[in-house]
Structure 1
Amino acid sequence: MAPYHIRKYQESDRQWVVGLLSRGMAEHIPATFWQLLKLPQSLLLLLGGPLALLLVSGSWLLALVFSLSLLPALWFLAKKPWTEFVDMTLRTDMSDITKSYLSERGSCFWVAESEEKVVGMVGALPVDDPTLREKRLQLFHLFVDSEHRRQGIAKALARTVLQFARDQGYSEVVLDTSTIQLSAMALYQSMGFKKTGQSFFCVWARLVALPTVHFIYRLPSSKVGSL
């Protein structure tokens, strides 16, 4: 297991960070596709569509072509929420990481480096909501390269955000992940994050039944201890 260390983001890291984001999102496409295949409406299309064509046209070939043509369409649907998320992210907070995360005191972006390569990342921004009674920080983009997982890097990055929140006087840390990201949800829950609800971040996510799960971690105000 190669050693790693966590440090603040630098502009020279951008290519590594964007690559991590893109690869991390693409990893979830197959699982989303298989989940989509199990939905009742998908099963109805895959089974009922060819059968209806066969009954109407009497052609097994036409029914087979219809059935096979549905699979690329369903793959496109499974892929769309993830590509939409990457595109949106690269247009917004990650279009200029230094400006978004490192220009003010209450936010930050870190990378995990191993053997002179960026193998993990995470960001944190204050939640801008005047209705909130508590000072809240949001964790963004926790990703670890697939070849460097199960080494404690993801937990170390999450702990870095929680410690930063303590140091900056935040009362709560929130984050979003998806129901398909089972290992991420298990990690957050093992660290004390609690589910607060779920929603769909875009219409494509709703179409493939891929809800976003919201989590919160409430920092104790009376004491500061190690996690």
Structure 2
Amino acid sequence: MASYRIRQYRDQDYDAVRTLFAHGILEHTLAGYRHVLHAARAKLVLLVLFVVVRAAAGYWVLGLGAVALALAATWLLVRSFSTSYVHQALSADLCDISTSYLRAPDSCFWVAEAGGAVVGMVAVASPQDPAERGVALELKRMSVRKDYRCRGISKALCGEVLRFARARGYGAVVLSTSMVQVAAQRLYEGQGFRKVGTSSPSLLGSLLCFQIFHYRCDLPGRAAAPPH
């Protein structure tokens, strides 16, 4: 098993980090597509579509063709949903990582390095939820390269965030992950996170029956009162 080390992000990691993030998100596209197709709403729509086209055209083959077109359109929608999220992130905080995470207060960005390559990443920053600011920090951008998973890297990266928040006197760490990222959910729950809510990221997300899960980990024995 290859060894690794966790260190703070450097500017020379820029391209590797952005590529790792994009690949990590896009690999869940197929799982998202399967989730949509398993939803009762999607099955009903496909059934109705088949029946209507079959009745109107008089040929069951045309009904199947209409369903096939609907399946292809759904795949394109799910793929667009994933790529849009990636593009948004790459043009926002991951556009200037040093400014977003190394120069901002109570923020940081770490990478896991193995064999001279970046194989994992995680960040921490002030939460997007105004109600959590000054009370908690937010774990963000967790990703580990596929061929380096199941080696404890994700757990170690998560531990860096928890220690960072505790050392600065925060009482909790919060995060959000998608419903199809099952392995990530297991990791976080194993590290003491509990699910505290769900939301839909957009109207398209609602139509695709796609949800975001929100997690929180309360930190015992914090060093000081949270900053204001």
TM, length-normalised to structure 1? 0.91
* Aligned amino acid, residue 194 of structure 2: K
Asked if structure 2 preserves the Cα contact closer than 8 Å seen for 1:194 and 1:216, the reply is yes
Structure 1 residue aligned with 2:70: 70
Cα RMSD after superposing both structures:
1.9
* Aligned amino acid, residue 79 of structure 1: R
* Aligned amino acid, residue 9 of structure 1: Y
User: How far apart in 2 are the matches of 1:47 and 1:207?
Assistant: 17
Asked if structure 2 preserves the Cα contact closer than 8 Å seen for 1:172 and 1:219, the reply is yes
Q: Deviations over 1:56-77 (max 9, x none)?
A: 1213343232121111111122
Asked if structure 2 preserves the Cα contact closer than 8 Å seen for 1:7 and 1:110, the reply is yes
* Aligned amino acid, residue 215 of structure 1: Y
Flag the 1:102–1:75 CA change in 2: closer, same or farther, 3 A. same
Asked if structure 2 preserves the Cα contact closer than 8 Å seen for 1:8 and 1:109, the reply is yes
User: How far apart in 2 are the matches of 1:222 and 1:79?
Assistant: 42
Structure 1 residue aligned with 2:213: 213
Q: Deviations over 1:102-158 (max 9, x none)?
A: 013411000000001100000010236665585311000110000000000000000
Structure 2 residue aligned with 1:2: 2
Structure 1 residue aligned with 2:97: 97
Flag the 1:197–1:97 CA change in 2: closer, same or farther, 3 A. same
TM, length-normalised to structure 2? 0.91
Determine whether 1:137 maps to 2:131.
Answer: no
Structure 2 residue aligned with 1:58: 58
Give SS of 1:192's match: coil
Structure 2 residue aligned with 1:37: 37
Shift of 1:206: 1.4
Identity across the alignment (%): 37
**Structure 2: gaps of 5 or more residues:** none
Shift of 1:91: 2.0
Shift of 1:179: 1.4
Structure 2 residue aligned with 1:168: 168
Structure 2 residue aligned with 1:180: 180
Q: Which moved more, 1:131-140 or 1:81-90?
A: 131-140
* Aligned amino acid, residue 90 of structure 1: L
User: How far apart in 2 are the matches of 1:111 and 1:14?
Assistant: 11
Flag the 1:38–1:132 CA change in 2: closer, same or farther, 3 A. closer
Asked if structure 2 preserves the Cα contact closer than 8 Å seen for 1:81 and 1:202, the reply is no
Q: Which moved more, 1:102-111 or 1:81-90?
A: 81-90
Structure 2 residue aligned with 1:25: 25
**Structure 1: gaps of 5 or more residues:** none
Flag the 1:104–1:133 CA change in 2: closer, same or farther, 3 A. closer
Structure 2 residue aligned with 1:196: 196
Structure 2 residue aligned with 1:126: 126
* Aligned amino acid, residue 110 of structure 1: W
* Aligned amino acid, residue 21 of structure 1: F
Flag the 1:218–1:209 CA change in 2: closer, same or farther, 3 A. same
Asked if structure 1 preserves the Cα contact closer than 8 Å seen for 2:127 and 2:133, the reply is no
